[in-house]
Chain A
Amino acid sequence: MNPLYLEVYVVVLGIILLMAEAFAGAGHKRGIAYAGILGLLGVLAATFFADPSAMNSAAPYAKFYRADTLAIFLKQFALLSTVIVLVMAVEYAPTVENNMPSERRGAGLGEFFALPVLACAGLMWMASAADFVMIFVSLELVTITFYILVSYLRQSGASLEAGAKYLVLGALSTGFLVYGITWIYGVTGHTNLEAIAEALPGLDYAVVPALLFGFGLVLVALGFKVAAAPFQFWVPDVYQGAPTPVTAYLSVASKAAGFVVLLRVLQAFVVVPDLQEKILPVISVLAGATIIFGNLAAIPQSNLKRLLAYSSIGHAGYLLLGVASLGAPFAGTAILFYLAAYLLMTLLAFLVMTIVAQASGGDDLSDFAGLNQRAPQLAFAMLLAMLSLAGIPLTAGFLGKLFIFECAVQQEHYVLVALGVVAVASGFYFYLKVIRAMYWQQPANPDAPDIEVGPLAKFTIAVLCALIIWLGVYPAPLLALLP
Chain B
Amino acid sequence: MSPLLSLILIPLVTAAFCMAGAAPRRISLFGAGANLLLGLYLLVSYNIGIGGFQFVSENALFPSYGIHFSLGADGLSLVLILLATLVTFAAVWVTPKIEKFAGMFYACLLFISAGAIGAFSSIDLFFFYAFHELALIPTFLLIGIWGSGERQRIAWKVTIYLAFGSFILLLGLIGLWQAAPPELRTLDIRLLQQLGYAGMMQPGPVVYLLLLFGFGILIALFPFHTWAPEAYASAPAPAAMLHAGVLKKFGLYGLLRLAVPIFPAEIQQFAHLVLILLLGNILYVGFVTLAQKRLDLMLGYSSVMHMGHAFLGFVALNQLGLGGMSLMLFAHGLTIAALFALSGEIARRTGTLEFSQLGGLAGVAPKLGLLFGFAAMASIGLPGFSTFASEIMIFFGAFARGTVGSFDWFQTCTALALWGVVISAVYMLRAYRNIFWGAQGSAVKDDTQDMSSGVRWAVIILIAGLLVTGFRPALLLNYLNPVFAYLAP
* A→B interface (CB under 8 Å): 372, 387, 392-394, 398, 402, 405-406, 409-410, 417, 421, 424-425, 428-429, 432, 435-436, 439-440, 473-476, 479
Contact = CB atoms under 8 A, between A and B. Distances in A.
Interface in B124-138: 126, 129-131, 133-134, 136-137
A440 B61 contact: no
Given A409-B174, A417-B171, A421-B167, A432 B140 contact: yes
B144 A424 contact: no
Contact of B175 (A372, A409, A476): A409
Looking at B126, B129, B137, B145, which has the most chain A CB atoms within 10 Å of its CB?
B137
B57 interface: no
Given A393-B129, A429-B156, A474-B61, A406 B174 contact: yes
A476 B62 CA distance: 5
Contacts of A473: 61, 69
Contacts of B129: 393
Contacts of A393: 126, 129-131, 133-134
Contact of B163 (A425, A440, A476): A425
B175 A479 contact: no
Contact of A394 (B65, B134, B152, B170): B134
A372 B107 CA distance: 15
A417 B170 CA distance: 11
27 contacts: A392-B137, A393-B126, A393-B130, A393-B133, A394-B130, A394-B134, A398-B130, A398-B133, A405-B170, A405-B171, A406-B174, A409-B171, A409-B174, A409-B175, A417-B171, A424-B163, A424-B167, A425-B164, A428-B160, A428-B163, A432-B140, A436-B144, A440-B145, A474-B61, A474-B62, A475-B62, A476-B62
Contacts of A392: 133-134, 136-137
B63 interface: yes
Q: Kindly state the interface size class of chain B when it binds its partner.
A: 20 to 34
Nearest to A409: B174
B64 interface: yes
Interface in B146-192: 152, 156, 159-160, 163-164, 167-168, 170-171, 174-175, 177-178
B359 to A, nearest CB: 35
A424 B169 CA distance: 13
B137 A387 contact: yes
B347 interface: no
Given A392-B137, A393-B133, A473-B61, A429 B178 contact: no
A436 B152 contact: yes
B164 A421 contact: yes
Interface of B: 61-65, 69, 101, 126, 129-131, 133-134, 136-137, 140-141, 144-145, 152, 156, 159-160, 163-164, 167-168, 170-171, 174-175, 177-178
Nearest to B141: A439
Looking at A387, A398, A432, which has the most chain B CB atoms within 10 Å of its CB?
A432
Given A417-B171, A435-B140, A440-B144, 16 more contacts: A372-B101, A387-B137, A392-B133, A393-B129, A406-B177, A421-B164, A425-B167, A428-B159, A429-B160, A436-B152, A439-B141, A473-B61, A474-B62, A476-B61, A476-B62, A479-B62
Closest 8 CB pairs of A and B: A393-B130, A425-B164, A428-B163, A393-B133, A421-B167, A476-B62, A440-B144, A409-B174
B476 to A, nearest CB: 30
A402 B69 CA distance: 17
Nearest to B136: A392
Contact of A425 (B63, B64, B140, B160): B160
A405 B467 CA distance: 47
B178 A409 contact: yes
A372 B145 CA distance: 12
Contacts of B130: 393-394, 398
Looking at A392, A428, A476, which has the most chain B CB atoms within 10 Å of its CB?
A428
Nearest to A422: B164
Contacts of B168: 421
Looking at A402, A405, A406, A475, which has the most chain B CB atoms within 10 Å of its CB?
A402
Nearest to A473: B61
A411 to B, nearest CB: 12
A227 B468 CA distance: 63
B178 A479 contact: no
Contacts of A387: 137
Contacts of B126: 393
Looking at A393, A409, A473, which has the most chain B CB atoms within 10 Å of its CB?
A393
A474 B127 CA distance: 12
Contacts of B137: 387, 392, 435
A407 B396 CA distance: 45
A292 B126 CA distance: 26
B352 to A, nearest CB: 24
Contacts of A436: 144, 152
Given A409-B174, A439-B141, A440-B144, A432 B159 contact: yes
Contacts of B159: 428, 432
Contacts of A476: 61-63
Nearest to B168: A421
A394 B145 CA distance: 24
Nearest to A475: B62
A478 to B, nearest CB: 10
A372 B61 CA distance: 34
B145 A439 contact: yes
A466 to B, nearest CB: 14
B239 to A, nearest CB: 15
Nearest to A477: B62
A432 B156 contact: yes
A409 B168 CA distance: 13
Contacts of A405: 170-171, 174
B144 A439 contact: yes
Given A392-B133, A428-B160, A432-B159, A421 B140 contact: no
A377 to B, nearest CB: 11
A410 B178 contact: yes
Looking at B126, B131, B163, which has the most chain A CB atoms within 10 Å of its CB?
B163
Contacts of B163: 424-425, 428
